Amino acid sequence: MAPPPIRLAAHLCGSHVNNLLSSSTDTSCANNIDTFLTELHNWGFRRVQVNATAVNGVHTEHLGEKSTIQSFLRTTAAHLKLEFIVQKNEETLPLWNGLLEQEALPENIVFLHDESKGTGKEASTWSTDPQFVTSSRKIVGYAGGIKPANVGKVAQDTIKACQESGGK
């Protein structure tokens, strides 16, 4: 039996995220992010994790603004062959909350609970936010400091958190 295909995930930080989040109001930003995402797809990437946090060099002061949400949606609509992973944490709340307020969220947007903000810091708790999981109807994942020494415990803890939230 052949192994399952690998689905590469690029992690966008800094200027790439800033361009993505400004793409509906700035043509140069739209051109830059569209060109880069097309290159990623050509290189074999099918998933893009958007690390919209200050520690990753992103201007976070406008995450909840309508133009930022529209920019995110514009970009995901322009790149339907890519899956966009929204990092869900306290800092990105304005972004993911704004996305969840949309009547119809595109199928190529999924969410990742990651309070470590991509730093690899081990989580002390895992989100059980029922409003988020049950209302989003989206694939949701967990991340943050998962390594060989703790992967078994993390798997058990995240299964429990998902069940407590009403997810599967």
Per-residue model confidence (pLDDT) at position 81: 95
Average pLDDT on 48-59 reads 92
CB atoms inside a 10 Å sphere around CB 168: 8
Least confident of 7-16, 61-70, 92-101, 107-116: 107-116
Per-residue model confidence (pLDDT) at position 62: 95
pTM of this structure: 0.81
Q: In the structure encoding, which two tokens stand for residue 61, read together? A: 């002061």
Per-residue model confidence (pLDDT) at position 143: 63
How far apart are alpha carbons 117 and 56 in whole angstroms?
8
How far apart are alpha carbons 17 and 130 in whole angstroms?
28
Average pLDDT on 69-87 reads 95
Q: Taking Cα atoms as reference points, which of 124, 53, 120 lies closest to residue 91?
A: 53
- Average pLDDT of the residues of the chain: 83
User: What are 95-142's pLDDT values in tens digits?
Assistant: 988 998 888 888 899 887 776 666 677 766 666 666 555 555 556 666
Task: Select the more confidently predicted residue: 150 or 14.
Answer: 14
Evaluate if residue 157 carries a pLDDT over 90: no
Per-residue model confidence (pLDDT) at position 141: 63
Place of tokens 């002390």: 124
Show the CA angle centred on residue 125, arms to residues 95 and 134, nearest 5°.
50
